[in-house]
Structure 1
Amino acid sequence: MSKSFAPIAALFVSIALVLTGYGLLTILTPVAADRLGLSDILVGFLGTAYFGGLTLGCFLVPIVIARVGHIRAFTAFTALATVTPLLQGVVLSGEVWIVLRIVTGFCYAGISMVIESWLNERADNSNRGFILSTYTGLNLLVAVIGQQMLGLGDPAGPELFILVAIFVTISAIPVALTRSPAPDIPATTTLQLRRLIQNSPVAAGAVFGTGLANGAFWSLAPLYPQSLGMSETNVASFVSAAVIGGAVALWPLGWLSDRRDRRLVIAGICIGAAIASLGLTTLSALPFVALAAIAFLYGATALPAYSLSIAHANDHADPGMSVSLSGSLLLLWGVGATIGPTVAAFAMELGGSATLLFAFTGIAFALLAAFTIYRMTVRPAPTEAQKETFVYVPRTSPAVFQLDPRGEDGGEDEAAWGEPPPMPDLAQLGDEAQASGEPPVSPAAPPASGSDDPTGRPGS
């Protein structure tokens, strides 16, 4: 295993540095905006801008990679991602920050896609699970480390933004010096949204609903302890408690969902997230430790819903379609995460309280639980033979789904792809993609055989 890990160690170092910086920037942006007197609505727009840029990047970045290759693309994305936090630290304008957050989201999608494509190139059936689990653990660990750096400086000053830029800048060094060969140019394909909704309305509704709620959480949650007069250290600890809760609950919930109707588990965690949201809305006078414990419960119930939804969609997918469906689910989550921050911010502004953020998330999860329970009365649970094993997949870029061991078996994807075609002319490929006028989509999603389900199976 050490021999297979050595060629990609530099890639893990690079992404760890990027994610540490972005973990800090994610919590720093709303806290700094609040300290500078920006309205809740404007802070919501900042969250919408970031997730909008991230979603666009997931499906536009392949054109950039096709034109210039992985190493040049990574260098360009890291250079641009270094400039944006520096400008946030010196240009104290909410309108300018909105543009910068769009660029930041786009760059993060590009950096993630380059790294994940590279990891997939080095993965095979013997190490794919190890690489994905290592990458997953790294995502969760360094995000918490980055968040805890909030207390190292004044959020209203430029120092912490400079620290973010330093982490992103030095992340380019391991990739520039790696001896691991760059991967092939990714292929493109069409997403199967209609097919996904027909196969699994619960999965489609769950990822969109959790995108609404959790997009609002990531964008606005720091304002909740900030409005209660807590220190920057407690603000970071409050958000980190939710991240740790999600990490701790992921695998037990996945194990349980492999042995029960996954929709029952999804409905249960949505009810739990709604209860935690109600607690944070109505019990804000509790001591910090109690609020952090409720935040832990929120993370343990709200954050695993995305991966459980992917597993549920795979239970009803045709063989070999897991990668394509997962890319469609990521798009739905991104759309929800783009909408959620602005809607929640309007509720907070109109109600005059940051606690209304969790009123919004509570309503979203309660509706999602009701819809899931209703669907359980419409269609029976899949048999044990139909169910796939739960695998946690980070919400980064479509390229990460190629690392999912559930996509290893042949079936429709391999029949459609066959042997890799000869390398195209990169400049011509990029020009054709722009001239065609067709929206570029996930590089990780292989072509589907059609838009209608040939099995004739109803949605879940």
Structure 2
Amino acid sequence: MLDVLRHSWALLLGVMLLMLGNGLQGSLLSVRGGAAGFSAFQMSVVMSAYFAGFLLASRMTPGMIRRVGHVRVFAALGSFISAVLILYPAFPHPITWTIERMVIGFCFCGVYVTAESWLNNASSNESRGQALSLYMIVQTLGIIAAQAILLIPDTSGFLLFVIPSVLVSIAFAPILLSVSPTPAFATTKPMSLRRLYDTSPLGVVGMFLLGAVFSAQFGMSAVFATESGLTLGQISLFVASFYVGALVTQYPLGWLSDRMDRRQLTAAIAAVGGAGALVAMVFPDNFTVLLCAAFVIGGANNPLYSLIIAYTNDFLGPEDMASASAGLLFVNGVAAIGGPMLTGWMMSVFGPGGYFLFIAILLLGLTGYAVWRMTRRPAPKVADTGVYTVMMPTASPVAMELAQEYAIDVAEAASDAAQETGTDGGRDAG
């Protein structure tokens, strides 16, 4: 781990600064939108635009890199991010913010693709898993730390938009001064959704539901807090609690997932997260309850993302993992676009409590579906399951492929070891 940090510290520092800017702008827009009189549904459309831009960029950025190179794409998209962050307070209108938010989502995805390709290029087979873990930890810490910046007094109304713009601009310096361009990479063609569903129904359904849950968490948590009348300090703590929960539970649950039926663990984690959402809906005026619920939901949703990927891999050979991950990422992205808008609609119908009702329905639905899938086919033997790799729903296709490359390396090493000992290293697809 220290060796990875020594070789990639500049890249990881740059990524943390990027996440400070990204994590702050989402919460800040929610607060300022509420102050400007935007409705919850209007803000939900603004927040959904980020995920639309993100999904679009996941398809377009590789082609841009092949045409003009990593450095030019990285610098150009970074410049657009800084510019849009400054423009937000100049034109406070839902339509303007929706367009700007879509541009921000597009640019951040492109920046992640470029940075993650550098990380992949700098990682060896032996260090790939550690590099990915560090990268995900840095991303989470950046989002958590960003919520503290929200508390800086801003009498001008522009300062809190200037700060993330500056942070994003500074982020490029350590990255561009410490890495060299990597060769153009080829994108992996997604596996057809029909084949992906036939291979792992729980993988497809679970990834779709989690896409909507995470977009509600990432895009609408501050909107809920603003609509509920929480103070600025309370909003900061509430949003941060989701990601603290993710940081605390990711590795223990990953350890468990390598030792038991992953469907049972999926059902249990989703049930806990759904129960936490229901409790918060019943006690919306108790701030301590809200913090605990955010911790539980974040601690459930983020590990579930990694768990669903690992479970899907259990039914795939190494040659199919990359194409399956591309399909899962597409399913997740489509659901993420609709998640904030459905959340905003439910908040307009049921009040702020509709936020937690939406999350509870999805997570408890995932619980029920996972339990039903357990009746349809037996689980793979624990000894034949693949490795759990830490992933965040904010990851780009390159990070997903990096995780899959690590899973493939582990699977091939296990197969080689099984052949040498004369045991059966094949997968039991059930």
The residue number in structure 1 matching 2:25 is 25
Q: CA deviation at 1:333?
A: 1.1
1:199–1:457 Cα contact (<8 Å) kept: no
Of residues 147-156 and 163-172 in structure 1, the stretch that sits farther from structure 2 once superposed is: 147-156
Q: Aligned to 1:321, what secondary structure does the other structure show?
A: helix
Residue 275 in 1 paired to residue 275 in 2? yes
- Return 5+ residue gaps in structure 2 as ranges: 413-425
Q: CA deviation at 1:160?
A: 0.8
Letter in 2 for 1:345: G
1:71–1:176 Cα contact (<8 Å) kept: yes
The residue number in structure 1 matching 2:417 is none
Q: CA deviation at 1:6?
A: 4.2
The residue number in structure 1 matching 2:398 is 399
2:47–2:219 Cα contact (<8 Å) kept: yes
Aligned CA-pair RMSD: 2.0
The residue number in structure 1 matching 2:419 is none
Aligned residue runs from structure 1 range 50-449, under 5 A: 50-154=50-154, 157-178=157-178, 180-192=179-191, 193-286=193-286, 288-351=287-350, 353-395=351-393, 396-404=395-403, 405-408=406-409
The residue number in structure 2 matching 1:448 is none
CA distance in 2, matches of 1:137, 1:347: 32
CA distance in 2, matches of 1:456, 1:384: 10
Q: CA deviation at 1:456?
A: 13
Q: What do residues 237-269 of structure 1 show as CA deviations (whole Å, max 9, x unaligned)? A: 011111111111111111112111101111111
CA distance in 2, matches of 1:127, 1:255: 19
Q: CA deviation at 1:26?
A: 1.8
1:35–1:155 Cα contact (<8 Å) kept: no
Bigger relative contact order, structure 1 or 2, given CA contacts below 8 A and separation 6+? Answer: 1
1:57–1:109 Cα contact (<8 Å) kept: yes
Q: What do residues 288-328 of structure 1 show as CA deviations (whole Å, max 9, x unaligned)? A: 22321122112122221111100101111112322222222
Q: Aligned to 1:380, what secondary structure does the other structure show?
A: coil
Q: Which runs of 4+ in 1 moved over 6 A?
A: 455-458
Letter in 2 for 1:373: V
Q: CA deviation at 1:457?
A: 8.9
CA distance in 2, matches of 1:4, 1:302: 27
Letter in 1 for 2:407: R
Q: CA deviation at 1:29?
A: 1.6
CA distance in 1, matches of 2:343, 2:186: 37
Q: Aligned to 1:153, what secondary structure does the other structure show?
A: coil
Identity of aligned residues (%): 30
Q: CA deviation at 1:402?
A: 3.6
Letter in 1 for 2:376: V
Q: CA deviation at 1:377?
A: 0.1
TM-score by length of 2: 0.91
- Return 5+ residue gaps in structure 1 as ranges: 412-454
Q: CA deviation at 1:408?
A: 2.3
2:40–2:227 Cα contact (<8 Å) kept: no
1:120–1:402 Cα contact (<8 Å) kept: no
Q: Aligned to 2:289, what secondary structure does the other structure show?
A: helix
Q: CA deviation at 1:153?
A: 3.2
Letter in 2 for 1:71: V
1:137–1:284 CA distance, 2 compared to 1 (3 A) = same
The residue number in structure 2 matching 1:418 is none
CA distance in 1, matches of 2:292, 2:200: 33
CA distance in 2, matches of 1:230, 1:53: 29
CA distance in 2, matches of 1:285, 1:401: 39
Q: CA deviation at 1:366?
A: 1.4
Q: CA deviation at 1:359?
A: 0.6
Letter in 1 for 2:304: A
The aligned length equals: 413
CA distance in 1, matches of 2:92, 2:377: 53
